[in-house]
Structure 1
Amino acid sequence: MATAPQPQLPLFYNDLMPLNSRDHATWKSRSMDSAEWLKGQHAIPLTVDEFVQSQRDFPIVFSSGDNPLPLALMGLNEGVNTFVDDKGKINEPVYLPAYVRRYPFMLAKLTQDGEDLSLCFDPTSGSVGEFDEGNALFDGEGKASEATQNILQFCEHFESAGQRTKVFIDELKKHELLMDGEISISQQENPEKPFVYRGFQMINQEKLQDVRGDVLREWNKNGMIALIYAHIMSLDLMRTIFARQVSQGTAPTPSEPAA
């Protein structure tokens, strides 16, 4: 149900091109009227900086495997995003994860052994190119425009949040707090055949109760305990997302596996 993005290219990205003033001196970025690339994406990577805002709209879970990632569930089934319509439009107020707002830009290494990150973009996105309208990426002297500087700053903040997220995950793993998740959702018309969702990880609340007091005090000071409970409280939204799927006709039938 909640697998991590593949390592070759990040989720959403079809290609990556370094942004530079030589090749893209006259290029512009423009806003997108729709998010076609978000259709059918049910699990979106999340940083810990976003847990408090995200838990109001989405269940927050962790991907399965040895290197879990926090994920915001915009749908419970593969290929289902309950917040994006067939035209790629989001027609209601909802928090958009930074991973979504970052696209089509990101910071990436240009060489496998390199340490420096360069601002890159997905040239297939349709939002960066030689357009008549939009925000110029470079000024007349080949320097990064204010728009590009803002994009770079946003991507840098995202990378920093990613490091904080790794620290959080490492702490959960250190105390063995993650366990395989399972949720059963029944419908009134067929209560004997609940839909069972698996394939994700969640915090083991029984083990959480056994964490030493000095560790909990430290987590309270550094804000980690608030992140843990934001995740736990958000799980109640699983049923809300399922209800959205039912109303939209995208819920599995009783004969289909839920996950």
Structure 2
Amino acid sequence: MASAPNPTLPLLYNELVPLNSNQHGDWKGRATDKAPWVAKQHAIPLTVEEFPLAQRDYPIVFSVGERPVPLALMGLNEGVNVFFNDDGSAIGTPYIPAYIRRYPFLLARLQQDSDNLSLCFDPTSDLVGQFDEGERLFADDMQPSQHTQALLDFCEKFEEAGNRTGLFMEELKKHDLLMDGEISIQRRDAPDQPFTYRGFSMVNQDKLRELRGDQLRTWNQNGLLPLIFAHLFSLSLMSTIFAKQVDMGRGPINANMFNGAAAQPAETPIVDGQ
């Protein structure tokens, strides 16, 4: 059984240890078509590069707090995910966010006063270990294998995308475009009793319309404006998620969408390199 989530680590991760040839020279990584670690997660962080694909399946919203991040909603209530079965198998063929595909690996700082990042992994996952099957993490000369190099490359690209996502969020905050979100959805069998969901942020369309033309042109040229529209268009999928929850017998519930910062990923973690 996996250990309880560590609130100081990013979402999904229970522990982190640096990958090294001394301890993990004979370890292997294995692939899977199931992600049980995400089955009970209703919101997963997104990078801006993923907006065009993610907005086809998920409402894209933003977390609340001082450092909001984009989130793909997989359910409207905590613990409800309408895109994954309990065993982690996908329902249909939704876009799988890179945050999910990265697990159990990520880049972390081994020392607080250093900007160098090292490849680490969650040892509570059953995807890395001393298996008979799988891809070797280190070659015979104890150098990282091609598989590990590919993992490192993926994690590095994710970090770069995360930095660009941070710049996007800074632009939204700079122009005061984020507002507290609220979505009301009516059931056909109870039209007078709408179900209201809160606890997230969204772009304020009134303020967006008030922006100067030169600012909008700049955002259109650098690709930021299409990202905003992808977010706004995706919000219509809220009712789709709601309907799926009803069909699954897992809603509706009149409650905040989020409880505190449950869906807020931590900053780049610092782990003990020993």
* TM-score normalised according to structure 2 size: 0.90
In structure 2, distance between residues paired with 1:92 and 1:183: 26
Residues 1:121 and 2:121 are matched in the alignment: yes
- Please tell me whether the aligned partners of residues 39 and 85 of structure 2 are also in contact (alpha carbons under 8 angstroms): yes
Aligned to 1:76: 76
* TM-score normalised according to structure 1 size: 0.95
Aligned to 1:94: 94
Aligned to 1:159: 159
Q: Secondary structure at the match of 1:194?
A: strand
- Please tell me whether the aligned partners of residues 105 and 120 of structure 1 are also in contact (alpha carbons under 8 angstroms): yes
In structure 2, distance between residues paired with 1:6 and 1:227: 32
Aligned to 2:212: 212
In structure 2, distance between residues paired with 1:192 and 1:228: 32
Q: Secondary structure at the match of 2:192?
A: coil
Aligned to 2:135: 135
Q: Secondary structure at the match of 2:107?
A: strand
Greater CA drift, 96-105 or 84-93: 84-93
Q: What is the identity, as a one-letter code, of the residue corresponding to 1:39?
A: A
Aligned to 1:227: 227
Deviation digits for residues 168-220 of structure 1, max 9, x if unmatched?
A: 00000000000000010001110111000000000000100111111111101
Q: Unaligned stretches of 5+ in structure 2?
A: 258-274
Deviation digits for residues 141-182 of structure 1, max 9, x if unmatched?
A: 011111001000000000000000000000000000000000
Deviation digits for residues 98-141 of structure 1, max 9, x if unmatched?
A: 00000000000012222100000001001101100000011000
Greater CA drift, 127-136 or 27-36: 27-36
Q: Equivalent pairs: percent with the same residue? A: 59
In structure 1, distance between residues paired with 2:186 and 2:66: 31
- Please tell me whether the aligned partners of residues 195 and 258 of structure 1 are also in contact (alpha carbons under 8 angstroms): no
Instruction: Call closer, same or farther: CA 1:111–1:146 in 2, change over 3 Å.
Output: same
Aligned to 1:173: 173
Segments of 4+ in structure 1 off by > 2 A? 256-259
In structure 2, distance between residues paired with 1:76 and 1:18: 35
Aligned to 1:242: 242
Aligned to 2:67: 67
Q: What is the identity, as a one-letter code, of the residue corresponding to 2:162?
A: G
Q: Secondary structure at the match of 2:225?
A: helix
- Please tell me whether the aligned partners of residues 106 and 119 of structure 1 are also in contact (alpha carbons under 8 angstroms): yes
Aligned to 2:105: 105
Aligned to 1:49: 49
